[in-house]
Amino acid sequence: MILHSIETKSRSDIEEEQLEHLKKTVDHVFKNVPFYRGQFEKMDISSNDLNRIDDVRKLPFTTKKDLRDHYPFGLFAVAQEEIIRLHASSGTSGKSTVVGYTKEDIKSWTEIVARAIAIAGGKKGDILHNAYGYGLFTGGLGLHYGGEELGASVIPISGGNTDRQIEIIQDFKPRILCSTPSYALNIAERMMELGIDPASTPLELGIFGAEPWSEEMRKTLEKTFGIKACDIYGLSEVIGPGVSMECHEGQNGLHIAEDHFLVEVIDPATLEHVPDGADGELVFTSLKKEALPIIRYRTGDIASITREKCSCGRTTVRMSRVKGRIDDMIIVRGVNVFPSEVEHHLLQIPELVPHYQLHLHRTSSLDTVELHVEMTDSLHEHTSNDENHPLLQTLKAEIRERIKSFCLISVEVKIHRPKGIERSQGKAVRVVDYRKQKQLHS
């Protein structure tokens, strides 16, 4: 196992290097980004006020709204002729967030993702099946260039066309599968429909991300494919995939590329720092980006961090698996619940497959939740999808009780026949909020 130099440095050496690059980044945005210059002048702050790494807390936050308010290129810090790549979010909840890259940014990102794949156990000579979406989404191209930089043979198959994916996996015999966890399940399910045991393929390693997923989902993927499943994290506003990666050895938190990114965790309500080990909103500051440096970007992702040395030997800060997003959090009668918490308990019920949705409704002035789950083939054979069958009634009661006890919300359970819940070709849709739709039409 070859480690990058940053991955074994002492905490003091890491923070010394980070402080140097933080000051350079602050000077860069002050000189070249009017938005940041205005913010810094309003707060009467400059790089001279940064004497230790914790002084980053003196700087202003950046939000997705800031990126949208300056759409498309208003936060870029270099001239247009220096931009060689543009990516953008889907913009499903507003204007897209647009990100740009210089040649040096692409080089850095490529190296970061190559390191991430290596952290997960990838190596030169591997065949990497890349089922992340290509295009404006950063996932596909991020993993593609990183895989090539590592020395892997990359299959740029992108998402969708699941039967073709399976044919390629069988014929090309990749060792690594890269996709969202929900789409990996979709591939496995289709394999079984075709009479193929997913564990019979040459796949040994899965690099899964782009959506929150639970430890139970990991166990399901590992058992189904006979692989080691590792979590990758990133977001386009910070750079893309590779901001952090779970190691093959420990699988206990995701190692952050600290030579490129400074992480904080804050209370999303008070915006105050929270201690290591406590859940809060992840905040990232880029340290070496040229085109779109980002200062204290509020990700909306909920996780915790630890600075303890990992069993793999790395000393870099690790973040926990993302628990959920602030905007995905369900608030029902004052109780906050993340879909991943529901998933955690559903996947412990053997009569269910790992596909579910939460439908939110408003009746009069009360919020209600319908939990849509899907039964296994064997249960379907026993019950013939008879909603009144005693086995299904017992199962519904068990689900209601489990969710009430552990997630503290009451749900109405709808059990679907096998394949009754729409499958994902990319990121899974876990929450359908009919309350918002009703408001839009009222």
What own/partner pairs with CB < 8 Å and gap ≥ 24 does 379-386 have? 379/351, 380/417, 380/418, 385/417
Residues 316 and 336 both lie in one domain? no
pLDDT of residue 327: 82
3 state SS for 205-223: EEEEECCCCCHHHHHHHHH
pLDDT band at 437 (very low <50, low <70, confident <90, very high): low
pLDDT of residue 101: 98
Q: How many domains does the chain have?
A: 2
How far lies 413's CA from each of 40, 67, 124, 290, 360, in Å? 51, 39, 48, 50, 12
Residues 301 and 406 both lie in one domain? no
Secondary element (H or E) of residue 251: none
Residues 172 and 291 both lie in one domain? yes
Residues 229 and 374 both lie in one domain? no
Residues 363 and 289 both lie in one domain? no
Q: What is the CATH number of the domain that holds 341?
A: 3.30.300.30
pLDDT of residue 365: 72
- pLDDT (tens digit per residue) in 154-190: 999 999 999 999 999 999 999 999 999 999 999 999 9
- pLDDT (tens digit per residue) in 299-320: 999 999 999 999 999 999 999 9
**Can you tell me the mean pLDDT for 49-60?**
98
Answer yes or no: are the C-beta atoms of 279 and 177 closer than 8 Å. Answer: no
Position 94 pLDDT exceeds 70: no
Residues 132 and 153 both lie in one domain? yes
Whole-number Å distance between alpha carbons of 156 and 143: 9
Position 1 pLDDT exceeds 70: no
For residue 245, the cross-strand partners are 232, 255
Domain termination residue (choose one: 325, 359, 383) = 325
* Residue 433 Ramachandran class (φ > 0 left, ψ -120 to 50 alpha, else beta): beta
Q: How far is CA 218 from the centre of its chain?
A: 14
pLDDT of residue 442: 38
Q: Which of 18, 8, 72, 7 is nearest to 288 (CA)?
A: 18
**Token pair 């796949």: residue:** 203
Q: How far is CA 147 from the centre of its chain?
A: 19
Domain termination residue (choose one: 270, 291, 325) = 325
Tell me the pTM.
0.88
Domain termination residue (choose one: 274, 294, 325) = 325
Q: How far is CA 391 from the centre of its chain?
A: 36
Point out the least confidently predicted range of 85-94, 97-106, 200-209, 409-418: 85-94
**Token pair 């759409």: residue:** 71
Residues 6+ apart with CB under 8 A from 16: none
Residues 241 and 259 both lie in one domain? yes
pLDDT of residue 384: 79
Q: What is the CATH number of the domain that holds 23?
A: 3.40.50.12780
Residues 279 and 371 both lie in one domain? no
Residues 209 and 245 both lie in one domain? yes
Position 216 pLDDT exceeds 90: yes
Residues 147 and 18 both lie in one domain? yes
Residue type, 198: P
Residues 47 and 153 both lie in one domain? yes
- pLDDT (tens digit per residue) in 247-279: 999 899 999 999 999 999 999 999 999 999 999
Residues 235 and 312 both lie in one domain? yes
Whole-number Å distance between alpha carbons of 230 and 247: 7
State the residue range of the domain holding 416. Answer: 329-441
Answer yes or no: are the C-beta atoms of 185 and 172 closer than 8 Å. Answer: no
pLDDT band at 220 (very low <50, low <70, confident <90, very high): very high
- pLDDT (tens digit per residue) in 375-398: 999 999 989 768 889 999 999 999
pLDDT band at 440 (very low <50, low <70, confident <90, very high): very low
pLDDT of residue 436: 66
**Can you tell me the mean pLDDT for 351-374?**
90
Mean pLDDT of the chain: 93
**Can you tell me the mean pLDDT for 415-437?**
85
Q: How far is CA 107 from the centre of its chain?
A: 22
**Can you tell me the mean pLDDT for 201-218?**
95
